[in-house]
Every structure is written in C-alpha cells, then in structure tokens.
Amino acid sequence: MKKNKTKEKITLHPIMTILIIIGIIMVISTILYLLGVQATIRKVSPTSFEYTNTVTEVSPLLSINGLKYIFTSTVSNFVSFAPLSSLIIILIGIGIMEKSGFLKTAFTLLTKNAKKNTVTFVLVLISILLGMIGDLAYIIMIPISAILFSYGKRNPAIGIIASFAALTCGSGINFILTSVDSSLLSLTQLAANMIDTGYIIKTTSFIFIMIIAVLLISFFITQITEKHLVYKLDKYEIPETEIEEELSIGKKEKKGLALATLAGSAYILIFLYNIIPGLPLSGKLLDDSQLFYIDKLFSYNSFFSTGFVFIVTMFFIILGFFYGIGAKTIKNNRDLCEDLGHSLDGIGKILVLIFFVSILINVFKYTEIGTIIVVWLSNIINKISFTGIPLIILLFVISIIATIFVPSSITKWSILSGTVVPVFMRAGLSPEFAQVIFRFGESVSMGLTPLLSSFVIYLAFLEKYNQNKKSIHLFKALKYQIPYALVSCVLFLTLLIVWYIVGLPIGVGVYPNL
C-alpha cells in the first residue's frame, strides 16, 4: 500500500521575513542610487511664505557608508526605539494589575452580563479615543485587550486584532484635537497663507465630521470583528489553569476594588487639577510656551510628553497594589516585587522581534526611498488639474499609498501640504477639508505597513497568544487587517464625498468649499 505523504506547509518566521525585506531594501536602494533617482522637496518658508527647495537622493545601503551606518546605528537605534522602553515599563504596571487579581475581577464585572458586541464596541471606541496619546495607546491597549478577551473566555487574538484595527483605522480621527492634529494644523495654516495671508484655521474646524467618523468606524470595526474575524481565527483552547468556576465577587474582592478605585481616583484628580489652567496653584504640568492647549499638554518639552509613560505605569501599579492589599492577594513586600515582574515573564521573543523591526525601520528611513515616493505623489497632485470629487479622491488615494512608505503623519504632511493646500484653495476647496481628507486616507493603510513602529507590538502579542506550533508570520498579521482597511476605505471616502455634495460643515463655521 502507498503511504499518504502530507507535505507540511513551510511558513517563514516573522524575523526571517523581516531579514528578507531588509535584504531587498538594501538591493533596491543601491539600484536606485546607481540610476540617480532623486526628488526635490518643496516646503513653505514660515517667514516669506515662499517655497524652499531641497534635493534628496536615495542613500545606498550596499556601500561603505551604508554598511557603516547599519553597524554603527543599530545598537543606539534599538536602545532609543520608542516601543521598547515604553512597553517594558507599561508591562510592569499591567503585571501587578493582573497578578494581584484586579484585572480579573474588574473585567469579570464588566463582561459578566454584557453582550459580546457591546464589549467589542466599547473596546474599539476606547482604543480610537485613546489614540490622542499617540503610540503609547498601542502599548497600553493591545496587551490589555488580550487580557480582557482571555478573562472573557474568548480568543485573546480577537481583542488584539480589533484593538489594533481601531488604533490604526482611527489614527486620523478623534473627538478632540490631538497633538499630531495640532502640528498638522500649523503646516496647513502655513500653506494656506501662501494663497491668503489672512486665512486663519481654528482648532474646532474638524469637530463635526470627526464625531460622525469615530462613531461609524467604531460600529463597522465591531461588525467586522464579530461577523467575520471570529470565524477566521484558529480555534482557541482555554488553558487548563483558566478553566475554573466563574469568579465570585466576595467581600475581599469588593474591598480590593473599593481601595483601588479610591486610590486611583485620588491619583487622577491630582494630575487633572495640575493640567487645568486658571485655577489656584493649577496648571503646573503644562508647557505655557505653547499656543494651543493640546500642545501645552503634549509638546516636546512638556511634563506629559516626557513623563506620560511613567504616569500611566504608576496609575496601574496603584490600582494593582491597593486591590491586592484589600483583597489580601498582596501580603508582603515579596508579593509586591514578584507581581511587578509578572508580565515580563517570557518577554525574550518580543524583545528579539522588536530588535529586528527597529533595524528594518532604521535602514528604510536612511535610504530616503519613502520620502522620495511621497514627493513624487505630491507632484502628481500639482500636475493633474483635478477639481471637486476627482481631486478629493486623488488626495485620498495618495494619502493611502504614501502611508505605506512613510507612516509618520507629520513627515508626510510637511511634504504634501505645501502643494496640496494651495491646489485645493485654487479649486475652491478649504484647507481644513484637505487636512481631513489626508487624515482619513492615511487611516486606511496605517495598519497595513510593517514600517509603523507600533506594528511590532501587534505582531509580538499575536505571537505570544498563538497556540499553534507555527509562528504567526508577518503577512498573516497584515492579512487580518485587510477587511478593516477595505471597509474603512469605502466608509471614509463615501463620508467625504457625501459631505462635499451636501455641503455640510466639517467643523464650527468651516465647510468643504471656501
């Protein structure tokens, strides 16, 4: 009898995939350099409101200078790689919350009688709104989302994927002006003054369309997650250690929650008071050198910008510690110290993955390929004389493509705004509407690029909760995000076109048309 031979499908480990991509970038950068590929970046001068030109060419990696850069910058780049230090510090706080039992008790109470759709919707909405704190939102929400679904006896990967989709598809939208939006607004203002020196853009210029966008995308991400994703994931077997009777909330647990709530509330009130301007002895944590409140809060040199990771970690530690004291799960200093390191157990694989992703992002930035692509896309808008809906679609598509190569919103808009805003104003469209289109477009593809520094957090936690022998390869992680990207693309583009046709205000006193 013939034996049936089953060929096991070989999948590349994410690290091997990253190494191959790095190798391809090295070859392509060298070829483009030999071909003399370059681009002229046009930026608006803040003093003369005229263009200043800078020529940028591809930097080859397969050269003496390129190889020297790789070897001399890799260690320092890894050490300063933002997700690395932030993740380790945040995990310390999450560790004590989890080990003390605070998260289990809190999440059990929150999900006990709640519908799955409701839990997912709230998670998605919180993830989008928390995007106001930037990359730190990924580091907080992705681990906590996994724990939330795990205690809810569901596949943690569902929470990880849904949270990441919300953070990326919602990266360009929010109820309030974020620090990134403020920086983009300054660039938009500068470009608008090239056409009209008296034009003024307000911080409330985007509020109406953003509220609708947040609510709609939250609903659709929830539907995709519950109607599509849960059936596409591999079956998740709940570990035996977690198969137990439903947690009963007794006196100890209630006392722990009460103490944690009181301590956490006091901690938050102290900081809230110190970020409210105008009250007696208040506002001590604000950067008063800035104009907008969001910049006073999150400017480069502000207290929150430099210390927010530690602020959040201390908040988590306080919740876990006081819960443990009340519930008597922390009985001595040894328990406390061991709980602090709970979430760092088995973090070695995550650190290795972060190391190689930091190399990928670093070498790609060095080549300037992404910058040159964005400049070329900017030139397309300048050369093609579109108006109305075709112009809206063109900027929307260009924003999607540009984000794949340059995830940084400020970097992209610093290149695009000097061309895009004047073109829009000459076509009778408002600068504010141009910025909204740009933000909607980049939100579509933000989750589809491994060049996003926070993508590694998403990939690492998918791997952490993966029960199969095969690793979660990079392209599978990207594949999970495709349905969200497609739906957000259709939703955002439809919203923009309808808003333009109907002529609804996108913000207070601001319309799509001038």
Q: What pLDDT digit, counting tens, does each position of 295-305 carry?
A: 777 776 777 77
14-50 pLDDT, tens digit each: 889 999 999 999 999 999 999 999 998 888 777 666 7
pTM value is 0.91
User: What does the pLDDT read at residue 3?
Assistant: 47
Backbone phi, psi, residue 315, to 5°: -60, -45
Average pLDDT over residues 278-306: 73
Backbone phi, psi, residue 274, to 5°: -85, 0
User: What does the pLDDT read at residue 247?
Assistant: 56
Give strand ranges (E) for 186-338.
none
**Residues whose CB falls within 8 Å of the CB of residue 457, separated by 6 or more in sequence, listed in order:** 83, 87, 138, 139, 142
**Residues whose CB falls within 8 Å of the CB of residue 372, separated by 6 or more in sequence, listed in order:** 37, 38, 39, 56, 57, 58
Residue 505 has pLDDT above 70, yes or no: yes
Closest CA to 313 of 79, 104, 97: 97
Between the alpha carbon of residue 382 and those of residues 38, 44, 387, the distances in Å are: 18, 15, 12
User: What does the pLDDT read at residue 408?
Assistant: 93
Residue 308 has pLDDT above 90, yes or no: no
Average pLDDT score over the chain: 88
**Are residues 472 and 481 in contact, defined by beta-carbon separation less than 8 angstroms?**
no
User: What does the pLDDT read at residue 84?
Assistant: 86
Average pLDDT over residues 158-185: 91
Q: Which of 97-111, 117-131, 331-345, 424-438 has the lowest mean pLDDT?
A: 331-345
Coil, strand, or helix at residue 3? coil
